[in-house]
Structures are given as C-alpha cells and as structure tokens.
Amino acid sequence: MTPTLTPRRPRWRSLALLALLLAPLLWPLQQLAERYYRDELIEQNRQTLDLYVANLLGTLRRFEVLPPILGNLPDLRGALLQPGDAAALDKANLLLKRVREQTGADVIYLLDAAGDTRAASNHDQPDSFIGRNFTFRPYYQAASEGRLGRFFGLGTTSGKRGYYFAAGVREGDTRLGVLVVKVDLDFTERLWGQTPEQLLVTDSNGVVILTSNPDWRYRASRPLSAPELTRIAADQPYPTQQPQPLQLDTHAWLMQSRELAETGWTVSILAPRSQVERPVQNVLAIGAASLLALLALLGLLLQRRRHYIERIALDARAKRELEIRVLERTRDLEALNDRLKDEVLEREQAQQELLRTQDELVQAGKLSALGTMSASISHELNQPLAAIRSYADNAGVLLDHQRTDDARDNLKQISELTGRMASIIAHLRAFARRDRHAPESVALQPALDDALALLAKRRRALDVELIRDLPEATLWVQAGETRLRQVLGNLLANACDALSEKAPPRRLWLSAESTPTGVNLILRDNGPGFSAQALEHAREPFFTTKTSTQGLGLGLAICETLMRALGGELLLANHPDGGAQITLQLRHATPGANLAATEEFS
C-alpha cells in the first residue's frame, strides 16, 4: 500500500506573512536614522555658522575702533575748527585717503556739526561725498549724542551697500562734527561661496542684507509693521522702501540662527532637508534589505532539506557582512573626526598668527616713534653738556688756584653727568627693544637738589631768588631716578628761560605737599606766564614760543610723556599773582634703602 503524501504549503506564502509581521519595524528604524542624521547635520551647520559669524564679527570689529581714534587727530579737528581754511581741508582729505588705503575701509568722511561733509577719502572721485548732508542717517544722530553710531545701508551717492561706524568729534565740551567709516561687506559675502547650505543675514527689520543666494537679497523674512516701514523710508537702508516677502518653504529647509547683539543682526544657515532624507532612505533600503535577508534566512530555516551546517554558515556570513558595515561606518566617523581636528588646528594656528601680527604692528608703531625721540636727544643732552662744560671750566680755574679738592668734586660731577647722559640714551634703546621700566621708590628732595645744581650757574647769572618751601622729611615717590631728574631739569630750565625775559627782581618758588593719593610738587615763577595758545598746545611736540636757536619745543612734550609713564600727571596754569605755575602729581612710594641714584644704564 502506497503511503499518502501530505501536500506541502507553498513556501512564498509563509514568507509573505512573515514580511507583513516584520514590516512595522522599519518605522522606528526610519525615526532613529532621521534623528541621527539630522543631529549630525545640525552640528556640522553649527560649526559652519560659528566660522561665518566669527569672520563677519572680525571684519566689523577691525574697523569699530577707527572712528574714535581718527576723531582725535589734530588735522581733522583743524578742518572743522577752520572750515574756511582750504589748506586745512586739503590736509584732512589727504589724511583720510591715506588712512583708507592703509586700513582697507571703503570710504572715510568727516561731517561738520550741521551734517555736511567737509572732508572725505574719495574727495577726488566722481562720486565724492564732499558737500553732501547725512543728518538723516541714524549713525549721525547716535554719534552726535556721544555714542558710537552703527548702521547698515545702501550708499545714497555710490549706491553701494556697507556698514557704517560713526563717532563724534569734540573739542572739550563742544561738538565739532562726526567722523564716519564705511565698511564694504561684499567681499565677506563672496567668501561664502557656492555650497548646498544657504547663508543669510537679516537686520533688526527682518530684511535680508547679506546672503549667498542673490535672489533673497533685500527681502523681508517676516511681515513688516507700519513703524518699521516708516523707519525704512526715513533711513533709506535698502534700494526699495517696500521689501518683498521672502518665500521659503520651511519644510524644505533645516534652519539654525545666531543673534548678534552688537549689531542687532541675525545670521542663519539653511540646509536642505534632502541632505537628511537621502541617507535616511539609504538606511531604510539597508533595513529593508536586512529584513529581506532575515526573511530569506527564515525561509531557509523552514526548508527541511537544509542541513544544520548550511544554516550555521549562512549565519556566519551574515555576521561578517554586518561587521564589515560597522567597520566601514567606523572608518567614516574617524575620518570625519580627523577632518574636524584639522580644522580646529588650522583655526588655532590662524589665531596665533593674528596675535603675532598684532605684536609686530605694535613694535612697528614704537619704532616709528623713534624718529621723533631721536630729535629729542639733542634737547635732552643739551643741559648735561652745558653743565659738563661749566664744571670743566670751573675745574681749570680751581686747579690754577691750587684748589685740588674742589676741582676733584667738579670732575666727579662731570662723571655723574656723563652717566646720566648714557642712562638717557639707554632709555631710548630700551624703548626700541620692548624694554619696560618699572617705577621704583625715589627720594624727591635729592633729585630736586641735583636738578637745581645743574642750573646753579645760570640761576646766579640771572640773579634768580630761589624760595623753597619743602618739608624736612624725605618725600618718597614712584618714579625712575634719571627720568624724574630729566623732568625736573627741563621744567627748571624752562623757568629760567621765562625769567630771562623779565627785568629783576626774578623769583622761583618751589613747594611740595602730600595728598591722600600722592605728592604734589609745585614750581612757580614771576615771569610772563603762559599765553592762551601755549596753555593749549604746550604739550605738543615741536611747539615753542622761543626762537629756533633757543629750543626745539620738545621739553614739555617729553615731560608729559615721562610723567604719564610714571603714573603721574603734569598740570600747567598761570598763578593769580602772575607768572607760570607747574604742578607735578606723583604717586606715593615706600621709603627706599638710600637716597642715592638707583637707576643704572647699560
């Protein structure tokens, strides 16, 4: 009897049923993959946004400090104080043009108190700003109120967009005008290049002002209110007074933004969501393939004719494939991590290079000042040389009279004066090689006595009566021995020069007083005193009321520089009873070990 064969169900029905049961597992796989690639894209875009924000802020901050510095230049203030002086205006125009070429600014111009342009770096160009009025610009109003003006807008003359910095120009409490620096942002926008990500910058009105997509420029990212439209019409920052709305499909882009508080701008980066969808689709395809492989594996398991060894081999093969995928993904992640490390290292190297460049610029500025300082050497060494000659002549007379001890004293004074001259030269050399002299404790009375000794012969020749009102206790101040003597010698020599212009009697008063913050040394004479012009310009280099043979006009300028280096201040005034009065404000110091000169020279 032939056995009856049990009919077998078709294999594909079982696989289809199992596929329907496992298909819902692809949905959580899609969610996990989408979250992973979205987070990865967000992190990459955040780093890119940080780079672009740093580049934009670096460009702006490089010009932010320029208006307040230029506003203090005498040539520019002179152009505003003397509006009818053509020579002053020409000098201001050339200065602005030179500064623009050196800094890379788009244009620099000077407005008077009425808002009219008096001088500009483009004074010789067809689109010159000379004569134009910019009182309607917000930066002019802010600078007039004493604040740093900021504004982005389209140039009404050039038609070129830029960012404006403005600062007020003042003479004391008087507002003379406003200095404006315009920064070209087109180069910054061109650096963004052509990438799948789109970058845009919107101002406080929500209008796009910088973007990697030219079609989005000057479009409103949100509805504009009536006050905003009114302000746009008044300030004229865009080529249109009715910015059209920016039509963006929010479902097609993944946006990240960064607020810039100092400008009121918002920098955004938009990445197409397709950058997330494509890898997610790949993951789903891999998941579906894995599911099919699993179904195939189960189908094979259902096959009774498969041997157990074959099933083990199939499992091992699937495991190897999975390990290879994991290794490939790990290598990709390691390569991405290495690229990120390289980018961070490049940024750090660029920052260090920037610091080195800034340091070199500071040193170059110091070396440029050596020209002026070298001119002051003849003035600073004139007094010690005159004293050396006087001591040498006296030593000869004393030797003729067999007064060897007195002659030896004169020779000792000559030795000390040559040491002081070497110390002055050492200060000049130290300035060039980045040396910094820290203030030390110096006895005031011995330094003053030494300075008086240098001018004793001249004082006797002029019959100057010296009236001292100094405390018996030694006053200690923070200074440098040579630099303090240098200041005192210059001021006493100037007093003798002033008294030489007056008929006898000639008097010189010296007094000192302690204050809660330091020591005030007061020098007063009964000479002609300071004129109004001298009080205003006496601290400026090469300003003098003497003839060219009497001086270079560097004495008070050097004294002012040395006093500020010592942490003190030099005050000039006229005494109510007539004559000039100079006050040196010095800081207190702890008593030193001795009263001898402590400053050495190389």
Domains along the chain?
12-24+194-306 (3.30.450), 66-184 (3.30.450.20), 438-587 (3.30.565.10)
Q: Is 76 helix (H, G, I), strand (E, B) or coil?
A: helix
Torsion of CA 536, 540, 544, 549, to 10 degrees: 180
Cβ atoms of 32 and 280 within 8 Å: the answer is no
Amino acid at 492: L
Q: Give the helix ranges, DSSP H, for 65-177.
A: 66-70, 74-81, 86-103, 138-144
| 476 CB-near residues (< 8 Å, 6+ apart) | 441, 442, 443, 444, 588, 589, 590, 591, 592
Greatest alpha-carbon span in the chain: 165
Region of residue 146 (left: phi > 0; alpha: psi -120 to 50; beta: else): left
Torsion of CA 406, 408, 411, 412, to 10 degrees: -100
Q: Is 105 helix (H, G, I), strand (E, B) or coil?
A: coil
For residue 114, how many other CB atoms are within 10 A of its CB?
9
Q: Is 150 helix (H, G, I), strand (E, B) or coil?
A: strand
For residue 368, the Cα-to-chain-centroid distance in whole angstroms is 20
C-alpha 116/C-alpha 132 separation (Å) is 6
| 25 CB-near residues (< 8 Å, 6+ apart) | 287, 291
Q: Strand order of the sheet with strand 149-154?
A: 117-120, 107-112, 174-183, 161-171, 149-154
Q: What is the structure's pLDDT at 545?
A: 65
Q: What is the structure's pLDDT at 322?
A: 92
- Structure tokens that stand for 39 in this block: 């987070």
Torsion of CA 364, 369, 373, 375, to 10 degrees: 110
C-alpha 312/C-alpha 297 separation (Å) is 11
- Structure tokens that stand for 561 in this block: 């520089």
pLDDT tens across 461-498, in order? 888 888 888 888 888 988 877 778 878 888 888 888 88
Task: Supply the pTM of this predicted model.
Answer: 0.44
C-alpha 599/C-alpha 482 separation (Å) is 6
β-strands 569-574, 580-587 pairing: antiparallel
C-alpha 563/C-alpha 484 separation (Å) is 8
In order, the DSSP letters of 446-511 are HHHHHHHHHTHHHHHHTTEEEEEE--SSPPEEEE-HHHHHHHHHHHHHHHHHHHTTSPSPEEEEEE
Rounded to the nearest 5°, which phi and psi values hold at 590?
-70, 145
- Structure tokens that stand for 442 in this block: 């110096």
Q: How many CA atoms lie within 13 A of 345 on its CB side?
A: 6
If residue 146 lies in a helix (H) or strand (E), which one and from where to where? none
Which ranges of the chain have pLDDT less than 50? Answer: 1-8, 361-362, 364-373, 375-376, 427, 430-436, 547-549, 594, 596-602
For residue 386, how many other CB atoms are within 10 A of its CB?
16
For residue 400, the Cα-to-chain-centroid distance in whole angstroms is 65
C-alpha 70/C-alpha 181 separation (Å) is 10
Q: How far apart are the first and last CA of the chain?
A: 128
Cβ atoms of 155 and 185 within 8 Å: the answer is no
